[in-house]
Amino acid sequence: MKVKHFIILLAGALSSCVSTKSTLKNIDDSAPIPKLTAKNTFVITAYSKDKKYGYDKDYPINVFYGNTKNEVINQERFLNALAGPNGEKIKFEKIESCCPFPTKKSEMGVGLLDVYEITWEGQKKPLRLYFNIYEKGALLIPVGLSLNK
């Protein structure tokens, strides 16, 4: 019974912190579901020209997971397709969830962004990328990263 009360309180707290208007700028419900490589990574062919893409909470990488039962699989498929700026092998770790926003694709009407820290050998400062698992959008290689060959 205590768990049920906690969930109700959490849902109320999150919904009270969320504006009724989303600030996310790059949602595209018509974006196709990306194809997969033999290594189970997304096929990504285009580079973003927008320095905010992925690095700003209002321009997250939208890796909609509604067609899977694993909410992190599409984030991993995306990240495994990336490399450092000179082809370096990257490492990634989810460090937090943040930034509530309204969405019709969540039972509670609220979504959270997941923040991943990206590192590679020789890097001076880790990068942080924002991911949205509730919405769709074009998948692009963020500025400063490259495609894993």
Q: Which residue has the higher pLDDT, 15 or 97?
A: 97
User: Is the pLDDT confidence value at 3 over 70?
Assistant: no
**Strand partners for 92:** 118
pTM over 0.85: no
| Structure confidence at residue 8 (pLDDT) | 47
Question: What are the sequence ranges of the domains in the chain?
Answer: 2-147
Nearest to 97 by CA among 120, 75, 68: 75
Q: Would you state the torsion angle of the CA atoms of residues 12, 17, 22, 23, taken in this order, to the nearest 10 degrees?
A: -160
51-65 average pLDDT score: 95
